[in-house]
Amino acid sequence: MAAGTAAALLAALGGILWLAARRFVGSSVQRLHQGGDSGLMRGKTVLITGANSGLGRATAAELLRLGARVIMGCRDRERAEEAAGQLRREVWPTGGPDSGPTSGGAGELVVKELDLSSLSSVRSFCQEMLQEEPRLDVLINNAGVFQCPYMKTEDGFEMQFGVNHLGHFLLTNLLLGLLKSSAPSRIVVVSSKLYKYGDINFEDLNSEQSYNKSFCYSRSKLANILFTRELARRLEGTSVTVNVLHPGIVQTNLGRHIHIPLLLRPLFNLVSWAFFKTPEEGAQTAVYLASSPEVEGVSGKYFGDCKEEELLPKAMDESVARKLWDISEVMVGILK
């Protein structure tokens, strides 16, 4: 019995190691396919929300290496400045974007305060952007809240729907003029495969009748996709494109609200190491959509692993997308 159990454990461990090896080889090939022109984004300004950690930080690092001027829009300015210092040391080990012969034209890094759970913060941020930034080539709506306990934003919205959808909805709309004047420009929206488990309940968008943290996260991610498709329709003929992606399952602090029993943590850590993407791997599709010539002019599409993927019918419902847009305009105060 003991020998059989040991053999089963060894087989399971071997399987995990084999899958991990496969994943890392695959990710290396993808990174090699992505990499290349270190000046691809030179002269372009990119705004990334939630860029101080996880996917946002990894996306910022990649785009800096491609020569972009990156604006980090973050809620906690102190943490953002700390992350920015780390990024500068990683991307510019010789001391600055123009230091030394190997700098490769790496870009510039700017930190701005942005709290997507506060509509007044979003408006102040956009006002500052319009006053200080002559152009915006790429907007990456990356920041998100994942399966948190029930709480409300400053404006009284359920937190996940308020941050993941409404905050970015207002941000994008207020910056559309700058994006249009900078065209050709791009908008990249980070969603999740978990959209499949969500539905748009117009009778209870604020989850006041009932709250399930998993369902509400999925609903906010479905809203991201519906928003992207409706925005793409409205932007036809403007040379501003918008696409949405899922990054896969990534090792980030997004799951900080999920409780894992102490005894199961070593197993969870092993499984996450074997099966989850690193932030750098997870960021590749966002970097691809922000920079690749291959998607120039492509709009309204859903991507995963740098390839277009199919959506469920509920994510392509044009009537729901338009109704959600109209209601969102009222909720954030664009329309009274």
Output the six-digit token pair for 323.
């109704």
Taking the alpha carbons at both ends of the chain, their separation in whole angstroms is: 71
3-class SS at 186? strand
For tokens 């700390």, the residue is 82
Strand order in the sheet with 45-49: 109-113, 69-74, 45-49, 138-141, 185-190, 240-246, 302-304, 307-308
CA angle 162, 164, 169 (to 5 degrees): 80
Residues of the chain under the 70 pLDDT cut: 1-37, 95-106, 250-276, 336
Please classify residue 180 by burial: count the beta carbons closer than 10 Å to its beta carbon, then call 0-12 exposed, 13-18 middle and 19+ buried. middle
CA atoms within 13 A on the CB side of 71: 21
**CA dist., res. 93 & res. 106, Å (int):** 11
Sign of the Cα torsion 184, 138, 177, 322 reads positive
* Bridge partners for 53 per DSSP: none
Confirm if 192 and 246 have CB atoms less than 8 A apart. Answer: yes
Distances in whole angstroms, Cα of residue 140 to Cα of each of 33, 100, 174, 210, 310: 21, 30, 14, 31, 21
Distances in Å between the Cα of 79 and the Cα atoms of 50, 52, 132 are: 11, 7, 23
Q: Residue 263's pLDDT is what?
A: 57
pLDDT, tens digit, 9 for 90 and up, residues 271-291: 444 456 799 999 999 999 999
CA distances from 214 to 194, 219, 255, 295 (A): 9, 9, 11, 32
Q: What share of the chain is helix, strand, coil (3-state, %, to 5)?
A: 50, 10, 35
pLDDT per residue over 172-185, tens digit each? Answer: 999 999 999 999 99
pLDDT at 92: 87
- What does pTM read for this prediction? 0.84
Predicted pLDDT at 262: 55
Q: What's the one-letter identity of residue 106? A: A
Among the listed residues 150, 195, 197, 217, the single catalytic one is 217
Segment 304-320, tens digit of pLDDT: 999 999 999 999 999 99
What count of residues does the chain have? 336
Q: How confident is the model at residue 142, as a pLDDT?
A: 98
Cis check: omega of the bond before 266, within 30 degrees of 0: no
* pLDDT of amino acid 101: 35
* 302 catalytic per annotation: no
Q: Which residues contact 319 (CB under 8 A, 6 or more apart)?
A: none
**Per-residue pLDDT at 138:** 98
Give pLDDT, residue 226: 99
What is the pLDDT at residue 131? 98
Q: What is the CA radius of gyration of the chain?
A: 20
